[in-house]
A and B are shown apart, each in its own frame.
Chain A
Amino acid sequence: MIELSGLRRHFGATRAVDDVSFGVAEGHVFGYIGPNGAGKTTSMRILATLDLPDDGDALIDGFSVVNDPDRVRLRLGFMPDFLVTYPNVNVREYLDFFARAYRLRGHVRARAVQRVMEFTGLDVLADKPTDALSKGMKQRLSLGRALVHDPAVLVLDEPAAGLDPRARIELREMIRALARRGKTILISSHILTELAEMCDTVGILEQGRLLAVGTVDEIQGKHHVTPRRGVAVEVLDGADRLAAWLTGRDGVAELEVEGNTVRFVHGGDRQDEAALLRVIVEAGFGVVSFTPRRQSLEDVFMKVTEGRVQ
């Protein structure tokens, strides 16, 4: 559904996007991650037909963003990383304007506006001026605007930036709901834990170049990231004794004691973890919690990128 091939965009000596190629299958959620200035926004703007690449092309549903932008626009909803509203326009009028701009007419338009307001939870604020909305509500409005013509592809640039935790969770739920409805979503975010939960695949970008693309496991494999899992064991007492007991056991390394909690890295799989828990309990330790922590997208990101900026 989304296909980028050899995309380049240079601003003078700065290579904002440098030979980026990847594809996103229909109904998949693709996480686009990278440090600030990596070229995420530039490539998303090219996908949204706001900018032209110097070289290469991007296809949305088989249509080129360079040569058929009008066809791409009907299939794509773009949520930029900035929030803009019109003065003296309320929520309903704002969405109605964009629905008209997408050539929705009659009751199709009225239903589209109502549907979007209900989905984003803005129906209760339908008559509120858009410039009086909170940031979270403006983000919802921006998502609603991108959805009003029911596009098959959504490009969301930092949708959760600057939101409070509650608004962020609500937005994440909305994006999940959209994914369940079969939308193809390309999303960029700095909150990697959230992206890892939502995305089928991720692309890691640095200095305009795509360093890695695939599922988190695929990237781990390709970049030789050892699949290790962190474990935190909280006991009633005797944390030091537990640490001593664990020292030298197979697959256990990097032991740390913090209060009643012992943290360590475990090289085994889930079954090994279950066996370890059993022997700890059998050894007489009063285990309060046993929490394995998977290798996260953050770990992969830190391993793949080098923190370079241009």
Chain B
Amino acid sequence: MTTEPEIITLDVEATEPPADAGRWARAWDAFERLLVRLGDRLNPILVKETRQALKSQQFLFTFALLLLFAWGWSILGVAVAGPGVAWGSHGENMFFGYFVILAIPLLVVVPFSAFRSLAAEQESRTFELLSITAMSPRQIIAGKLGSALLQMSIYLSAVSPCLAFTYLLRGIDLLTILYFLFWVTVGSLACSALALFLATASLIRQIQILPTIGAVLGAAAAAWIGILLGGVFLFEEGGSANFHDREFWVINAAILTAVVAYFAMVCEAAVARLAFASDNRSTRLRIIMVAQFALFTGWMTVVWILEQGFPAVPFMFAIIAGLHWYAMGALMTGESPVLSQRVKRNLPQSFLGRMLSTWFYPGPGAGYGLALCGLVATMLLMLVAMVLDDWVGFSRAARFWGRMPPISTFVIFGILGISYVVAFLGVGLLLMRAIRRVAPVGLLLSVLLQVMLVAFGCGVPMVIEMSSSMAFRRGYSLLHVTNPIYTLVEMVNRPAPPTQTPALLVLVPGAALVVFLLNLPSLARELRNVRIAKPRRVAEEDAVLAALRHPQPGFVPQNPWDH
């Protein structure tokens, strides 16, 4: 999006070894220079934090404690097992002990250190000095994550001799050890990313204490859940016996995909929080949202195939899709409608480009559009899948058992679901626009407004119903038309759609259409944003930098007459 500033660089001075130096000395010298060059390319934050960590008492204390516990557990374990350690099946218990010892620094200390590292930069105002250097917010977050990764690897290496020892015992295999190490590392990295995002929120003065509380509780919960899951897997669920099950690996791959997708989103959200106000903080997040949803769609397809067209899958998929795009829409509709000149310089130029990618550029209207497009596309995709299934007979078994609801039910469910999202997000957008005229507001208020709108939509009919004893006994009625949860559940839970369906199909889409039309002018205004030219000074510098990067080749004679 932005032009990278020129890197000021000079090759490391070649200090040639003396002529009489041996082959090994020369090789060592070359290796050393290579290391210096590599060190030069490292993230500055990683270098600084490594230097700090090596001198910090907190790191030394944690490391010493880890070693102490690991050795203590080794001695205790061997002592308890006695001579039986050589032939008995003690590997599992020994390994679990080491896993607990490792999980605490990895899931508590490392993420909390990452949180404190960024929060302290903001509290002591060193972040201000950092933010005006040539480092991008992405490099800052990458540096902090790199530092967390380095700490993890040091803790892992400290426990690795103990893990190697358990491999020599009976009752545990290499795959189980690697499986645990993989997930605890992934978990630690994910928690660190989340901690960094929380640290960026500590800038908001009104909620300054909440991120700290969140980080402490989150780290403790992560360690507890990690240890619990490890224990259940090892002692209750058969441990390595699961490795022969195809479904086990499918579930693991699906979880890993989700972790990677949310990791990318959390990191990008942290980057956006640190970015300069005139930067484009939205496009990458929107791309991730779509990619995340494409991955989810893929996994739901796999589940549907594996489950041989189990009828709950499309509905489950539609509900999650609705929630996903509603939540993302609530965030996106909180963005400022004013595009900075910096963002406008990169807007798509062609008609096709504007049609396809305007939705990915910042702005509440574009966000509203993206959420609706994403949701409609999902519903259409599911509908196509169901029609194809009906045609090919993929889920014959399910239909035989009478579980497959007709396609019409899904269509009604889809129309109502989309309409609710259109209406709620649209009303939120209208309210945000009205509030923005009085005071500057952000994403947090947009999300709060949506929560309040849904609570209002669900709560008011309930209050009215509860105040009337007759109505209370009647169950679902048109009074609940503003309650999306009750209405959609009624659609799925009954063998046939409720009697109010025709009225619902008029009222809910009608209301959605009205809200959509009310938002249309602002949406059109955002679509009319066009690319602006770079300022002359920027264009001049870009030309100079381009000439430096790609120098024009000098005259090269092609034949004898060219001279």
A84 and B133: CB pair below 8 A?
no
A87 and B52: CB pair below 8 A?
yes
Closest to B136 in A: A70
Known: A64-B535, A93-B48. A84 touches B5 (CB 8 A): no
B129 and A84: CB pair below 8 A?
yes
Q: Which residues of B contact A88 (CB under 8 A)?
A: 51-52, 55-56
A303 within 8 A of B: no
Q: How many residues of A contact B (CB 8 A)?
A: 41
Known: A49-B132, A93-B51, A106-B10. A100 touches B44 (CB 8 A): yes
A105 and B8: CB pair below 8 A?
yes
Q: How far is A67 from B2 in the complex, measured between Cα atoms in Å?
A: 10
Q: How far is A90 from B371 in the complex, measured between Cα atoms in Å?
A: 50
A8 within 8 A of B: no
Distance in angstroms from B131 CB to nearest chain A CB is 7
B16 within 8 A of A: no
Q: Which residues of A contact B6 (CB under 8 A)?
A: 74
A106 and B51: CB pair below 8 A?
no
Contact of A67 among B5, B52, B340 (CB under 8 A): B340
Q: Which residues of A contact B2 (CB under 8 A)?
A: 70
B47 within 8 A of A: yes
A86 and B48: CB pair below 8 A?
yes
Q: How far is A292 from B404 in the complex, measured between Cα atoms in Å?
A: 103
Contact of A82 among B12, B40, B125, B277 (CB under 8 A): B125
A98 within 8 A of B: yes
A91 within 8 A of B: no
A101 within 8 A of B: yes
Distance in angstroms from A53 CB to nearest chain B CB is 11
Near B by CB (< 8 A), chain A positions 109-134 give 109
Q: How far is A56 from B158 in the complex, measured between Cα atoms in Å?
A: 56
Beyond the given A67-B278, A84-B126, please list 18 additional residue pairs across the A-B interface where CB-CB is below 8 A.
A63-B538, A66-B341, A67-B340, A67-B341, A67-B535, A68-B342, A69-B278, A70-B2, A71-B538, A73-B5, A80-B125, A86-B48, A86-B126, A89-B52, A98-B129, A103-B5, A106-B12, A149-B8
A104 within 8 A of B: yes
Q: Which residues of B contact A62 (CB under 8 A)?
A: 535, 537
14 A-B pairs with CB atoms under 8 Å apart are A50-B128, A67-B345, A69-B276, A71-B538, A73-B132, A89-B48, A89-B52, A105-B8, A105-B9, A106-B11, A106-B36, A106-B40, A108-B8, A109-B40
Closest to A80 in B: B128
Q: Which residues of B contact A149 (CB under 8 A)?
A: 8, 134
Q: How far is A126 from B12 in the complex, measured between Cα atoms in Å?
A: 22
Q: Which residues of B contact A80 (CB under 8 A)?
A: 125, 128-129
B5 and A71: CB pair below 8 A?
yes
A40 within 8 A of B: no
Closest to B47 in A: A100
A245 within 8 A of B: no
Q: Which residues of B contact A145 (CB under 8 A)?
A: 129
A97 within 8 A of B: yes
Near A by CB (< 8 A), chain B positions 39-56 give 40, 44, 47-48, 51-52, 55-56
Distance in angstroms from B326 CB to nearest chain A CB is 31
Q: Which residues of A contact B7 (CB under 8 A)?
A: 103, 105
Q: Which residues of B contact A242 (CB under 8 A)?
A: none
Known: A80-B129, A107-B12. A70 touches B52 (CB 8 A): no
B134 and A103: CB pair below 8 A?
yes
The digit string for A45-78, where 1 denotes a CB below 8 A from any CB of B, is: 0001110100000000111101111110110101
Q: How far is A52 from B62 in the complex, measured between Cα atoms in Å?
A: 42
Q: Which residues of A contact B341 (CB under 8 A)?
A: 64, 66-67
Give the interface of B toward A (CB within 8 A).
2-3, 5-13, 36-37, 40, 44, 47-48, 51-52, 55-56, 124-126, 128-136, 276-278, 340-342, 345, 535, 537-538, 541
Distance in angstroms from A15 CB to nearest chain B CB is 16
Q: How far is A76 from B12 in the complex, measured between Cα atoms in Å?
A: 26
Q: Which residues of A contact B128 (CB under 8 A)?
A: 50, 80
Q: How far is A78 from B135 in the complex, measured between Cα atoms in Å?
A: 15
Distance in angstroms from A203 CB to nearest chain B CB is 22
Q: How far is A270 from B326 in the complex, measured between Cα atoms in Å?
A: 79
Contact of B9 among A63, A69, A89, A108 (CB under 8 A): A108
Q: How far is A89 from B52 in the complex, measured between Cα atoms in Å?
A: 6
Closest to B537 in A: A62
B5 and A50: CB pair below 8 A?
no
The 10 closest A-B pairs by CB, nearest first: A62-B537, A100-B44, A101-B133, A88-B55, A108-B10, A105-B9, A97-B48, A88-B52, A67-B342, A106-B12
Distance in angstroms from A31 CB to nearest chain B CB is 22
A86 and B52: CB pair below 8 A?
yes
B132 and A48: CB pair below 8 A?
yes
A101 and B130: CB pair below 8 A?
yes
Q: How far is A84 from B123 in the complex, measured between Cα atoms in Å?
A: 11
Distance in angstroms from A149 CB to nearest chain B CB is 8
Closest to A57 in B: B341
Q: Which residues of A contact B52 (CB under 8 A)?
A: 86-89
Known: A67-B278, A68-B342, A103-B5. A89 touches B134 (CB 8 A): no
Closest to B2 in A: A70
A52 and B44: CB pair below 8 A?
no
A97 and B47: CB pair below 8 A?
yes
A84 and B125: CB pair below 8 A?
yes
Q: Which residues of A contact B40 (CB under 8 A)?
A: 105-106, 109
Closest to B541 in A: A71
Distance in angstroms from A55 CB to nearest chain B CB is 12
Q: How far is A87 from B7 in the complex, measured between Cα atoms in Å?
A: 28
Q: How far is A290 from B142 in the complex, measured between Cα atoms in Å?
A: 67
Q: How far is A269 from B340 in the complex, measured between Cα atoms in Å?
A: 55
